[in-house]
Amino acid sequence: MNLKIINQNQTLATWKKILRSNFTQVEKLAEFLCLDADSKANILNKSKFVLNLPFRLAQKIKKNDLNDPILKQFLPTLDETHITEGFVKDPVGDSNCRSSAKLLHKYDGRVLLVTTSACAMHCRYCFRQNFDYDVSQNYKFIDELQLIAADETIHEVILSGGDPLSLSNDILRELIEKLENIPHIKRLRFHTRFPIGIPERIDEEFVNILYNSPLKTWFVLHINHPNELDDEIFSRIKRLQNIGVIVLNQSVLLRGVNDDVDTLVKLSELLVDHGILPYYLHQLDKVQGAAHFEVSEEEGLHLIREISKKLPGYGVPKYVRETEGEPNKTPI
């Protein structure tokens, strides 16, 4: 964990420049990873859900190895073209719980604000890859804030997307201040993968925004494999922890990525050693094109039993699936 490519005093303009260095063309990524002809033959060259992989993560991928656990999460392959029964475009029913263009209200007491379609990276198993995003660049969230203010049963707002950290500090500051002015909102939650690919996004200005907010702030990261982590990431997360932000992690159980005991144990130990609580291990959402990632629930339960023998209780994530229409995540 010695990857040091980030200066601690990066500006907003600098992290946006780094974002532009993401791999978005499969040919360039294949060249960078020295993929041979056999490997290239498995690549899906044209996909509606385009390649998007931070350079920083690409540096951690083993050369010419399609089975690398990071590469498998991001490289479009021909497996995505297989039609599998039961796999659909909207596996969690987002489209049926929209209160407005950007607001999802599934569960009591909390709502999810789809702040943007932009993300730091495109995971091939993303359940929202077919979502009908509002791409009008309307970041005032007028309708959404009115709906939240009118419902006193809502106490928590989840910022998701895409990835909420794709938004500028100015937009996030304005949004958070408006949420602070709604008396019944007590908690703010970020769902983000950004710090894993571009940790410098957790800059001093952003940390100050959260520090000065009266809302209790939670961060839920998305990390699937210990190879994704390094000291720079932990250093940036520590900045959040130092101001009282509670940091959790959720993983997705993925075939060929983390479907073994040693990987899950190593990931949980790395997280808890840095004060990050393993929160959820998600059964794969059955989004069209992702069937090759599926691990059976029987296998998942076996993995949970085995890692429970090796980890303290707080290090064992809750194994869950999301079922459309249910009032909460369903424990498996």
Cβ 289 vs Cβ 89: under 8 Å: no
Give me the average pLDDT of each 10-residue run along the chain (332 residues).
Answer: 37 68 95 96 94 97 97 97 95 93 95 96 96 88 97 98 95 97 98 96 96 98 98 98 98 98 98 98 97 98 98 98 88 94
My answer on whether 69 and 98 are in the same domain is no
Return the structure tokens found at 4: 């040091």
- Tell me how far apart the alpha carbons of residues 268 and 266 are, in angstroms, rounded to a whole number: 6
Q: What pTM does this model have?
A: 0.93
For residue 299, tell me if it sits in a domain.
yes
Question: Where do we find the tokens 């983390």?
Answer: 258
**Extended beta strands in 75-136, E state:** 103-104, 110-114
Query: What is the extent of the structural domain holding 327?
Result: 94-331
Q: Which of 81, 106, 130 is the endpoint of a domain? A: 81
For residue 9, tell me if it sits in a domain.
no
Q: Which of 81, 113, 130 is the endpoint of a domain? A: 81
My answer on whether 165 and 60 are in the same domain is no
For 244-281, the pLDDT digits (tens) are 999 999 999 999 999 999 999 999 999 999 999 999 99
- Tell me how far apart the alpha carbons of residues 134 and 132 are, in angstroms, rounded to a whole number: 7
My answer on whether 314 and 193 are in the same domain is yes
My answer on whether 311 and 178 are in the same domain is yes
Characterize the bridge pairing of strands 103-104 and 110-114.
Answer: antiparallel
Cβ 148 vs Cβ 184: under 8 Å: no
Neighbour-count burial for 84-118, b at 16+ CB within 10 Å, e otherwise: eeebbebbbebeebbebebbbbbeeebbbbbbbeb
For residue 318, tell me if it sits in a domain.
yes
My answer on whether 163 and 52 are in the same domain is no
For residue 213, tell me if it sits in a domain.
yes
For 170-218, the pLDDT digits (tens) are 999 999 999 999 999 999 999 999 999 999 999 999 999 999 999 999 9
141 Ramachandran zone, left/alpha/beta (phi>0; psi -120 to 50)? left
Give the pLDDT score at 326: 84
